[in-house]
Structure 1
Amino acid sequence: MGVVRATTEAEREDAFDVRYEVFVEEQGVPEELEWDEHDDWPDTVHFVAYDEDGEPVGAARLRPKEDATGVAKVERVAVREDRRGEDWGRQLMTAVEDAAREAGYAEVFLHAQRPVEDFYRRLGYETVSDVFEEAGIPHVEMEKRL
């Protein structure tokens, strides 16, 4: 099926289920940190990736940066552990970046966990910060001009 914008409640739940499995269960992120006010912002766009059987395998979200015009933040990019290495991450990021361009954003940025920094670098992102912690996990800020 591929990556779709999660426009129905069922699609949003599929995206949230992937996030819960990856971030809360696998990585130990506290549940209260995984869900935030940005999940319900009217300008936030959620994405869910479905395999050929219609099973949700990945998720992401895109929202405006709060203090900058023309800049969006990519967040909560997740692929189920048993589906990694199957190109779902790239497909999610392509869909997110396409949506950002359509919405008129000139730049996107994200907070990448250190183990996937090279993945984002291969997609054209540049590291623009030192290492910092979020939810007890080392991250770096990365950005990309669209």
Structure 2
Amino acid sequence: MLKVLKVVTDEQIQDAFNVRTKVFVEEQNVPSELEIDELEAEAAHFVLYNEGLPIGAGRFRVVDNYGKIERICVLKDQRKSGAGVLIMNAIEGYAKSFPLNLLKLNAQISAIPFYEKLGYTVVSSEFLDAGIPHKTMEKHI
């Protein structure tokens, strides 16, 4: 059974960091010092569990007058299962508890079709983040 939790314990944040490390650092070669950054303390973190095992993660921050969705990831063998949609739905639901009407995220080029299906629109030209091509996307809520 898949279940997304907003992180409230040290064990849960470690689970989120472990998934992020596997996906971004080990799989995509993002330097670990860029992956776990100085913004962790101000973010709300989410972790997706499958039968109690962490398989996905993401974080959310309020920046200026919009919500910023970051670090969305799912373990390679769990992709295409709807896991990413569950994480995004949980974060978007949480975002609605704030007086916000805009969400933004920086999507890897390969993930743009995923986010478009969730209602996000590309609003920037391509740029590199940690050596990976991205575009900024946004969605009005």
Q: Which residue of 1 aligns with 2:68?
A: 73
SS at match of 2:114: helix
SS at match of 2:96: helix
Runs of 4 or more off by more than 4 Å in structure 1?
none
Q: TM-score under structure 1 normalisation? A: 0.94
Root-mean-square deviation over aligned CA pairs: 0.7
Quote the Cα distance in structure 2 between the aligned partners of 1:105 and 1:11. 26
Q: Which residue of 2 aligns with 1:50?
A: 49
SS at match of 2:119: coil
Matched letter for residue 38 of structure 1: L
Q: Which residue of 2 aligns with 1:29?
A: 30
Point out where structure 2 has 5 or more consecutive residues left out of the alignment: none
Matched letter for residue 53 of structure 2: E
Q: What percent identity do the matched residue pairs reach?
A: 43
Matched ranges for 1:1-146 at <5 A = 1-41=2-42, 44-51=43-50, 53-65=51-63, 68-69=64-65, 71-146=66-141
Q: Deviation string for 1:81-127 (max 9, x for gaps)?
A: 01001100000000000000012221110000000101000000000
SS at match of 2:81: coil
Q: Deviation string for 1:113-143 (max 9, x for gaps)?
A: 0001010000000000000000000000000
Quote the Cα distance in structure 2 between the aligned partners of 1:88 and 1:4. 13
